[in-house]
Amino acid sequence: MNVYFIGAGPGDPELITVKGQRLLREADVVIYAGSLVNPALLAFAKQGAAIYNSASMTLDEVIEVMEKAAKSNQTVARVHTGDPSIYGAIKEQMDKLDKLNITYEVIPGVSSFLATAAALKLEYTLPEVSQTVIITRLEGRTPVPEKEKLASLASHNASMCIFLSVHMLDNVTNELINGGYPADTPIAVVQKASWPEQKIIRGTLSDIAAKTKEQSIDRTAMIVVSRCLDSDYALSRLYAPEFGHMYRDAK
């Protein structure tokens, strides 16, 4: 294998998978997404590994580094934040590698929306409250398809994790309210989940934007909207005594 795409997790260096860490230790070349990957992870790289920060590189430059390494039989760890399948720009790299016949494997990681739930001690899927998690973002330089506009997603009142949008929190809350979330719906903003400087702000759709501005949070934060943040719920069927299943008989 030439290239390993590794989900590095949300920030805490202990939240990379065992497999991801091993491959990072073994790699001859490391290309990491410097804007978000915790530099502490680079301490795992072996002595003498060539290290590149992709923040200042173009797609073609990244591919060139991979191609050179592959030609000299070196392995590359391409380190992405969280899990590479979510806003990771991984597909365009894989497509180029396919064309060049360079082999690769993807190692999943702990996405920041999961570290955010952990920080909030939140279950996104409470029975009779929400059984759906929507991962989305507000339109920025990357457009969002018409049918996925925040207001129309909001009409479901499902749990929502909104990436890449905290700097536009006013727009986010307006769209959510326009889309049908009541203004008192609980919402939380978690900045740098799992990092030592993690910050949590809780509020409602009507007051979160002001609270977040007060704390000068305008990047690397997850927005979570969900009735699950504060709500009565039904107990799960999984552990209910009167419900049996494959591993346990009903009482």
8 binds ligand SAH (CB under 6 A): no
Interface positions, 73-92, toward ligand SAH (CB under 6 A): 80-83, 86-88
20 binds ligand SAH (CB under 6 A): no
Give the amino acid at 200.
I
> What distance in Å separates the CA atoms of residue 150 and residue 162, rounded to the nearest whole number?
9
Q: How far is the CB of 9 from ligand SAH (least distance, A)?
A: 8
Could you tell me the strand order of the sheet in which 133-137 lies? 133-137, 159-163, 221-225, 186-191, 199-204
Nearer to ligand SAH, 94 or 240 (CB): 94
Specify whether the CB–CB gap between 144 and 138 falls below 8 A.
Answer: yes
Could you tell me the strand order of the sheet in which 104-107 lies? 50-53, 29-32, 76-80, 3-7, 104-107
Nearer to ligand SAH, 97 or 190 (CB): 190
Q: How far is the CB of 245 from ligand SAH (least distance, A)?
A: 31
Interface positions, 89-128, toward ligand SAH (CB under 6 A): 111-112, 115-116
Closest by CA to 132, choosing from 140, 122, 124, is: 124
3-state secondary structure of 26: helix
Q: Given the structure tokens 């006013």, which residue do they identify?
A: 170
Q: Which residues contact 227 (CB under 8 A, 6 or more apart)?
A: 126, 129, 130, 157, 159, 185, 186
Nearer to ligand SAH, 70 or 104 (CB): 104
Minimal CB distance residue for ligand SAH:
82
**Taking contact as CB under 6 A, which single stretch among the options 52-60, 94-102, 150-158, 192-200 is the one that binds ligand SAH?**
192-200
Length of the chain: 251
Count the residues of the shown chain that bind ligand SAH, applying the rule CB under 6 A.
24
225 binds ligand SAH (CB under 6 A): no
Q: How far is the CB of 138 from ligand SAH (least distance, A)?
A: 10
Interaction site with ligand SAH (CB under 6 A): 10-11, 36, 80-83, 86-88, 111-112, 115-116, 163-164, 190, 192-195, 220-222
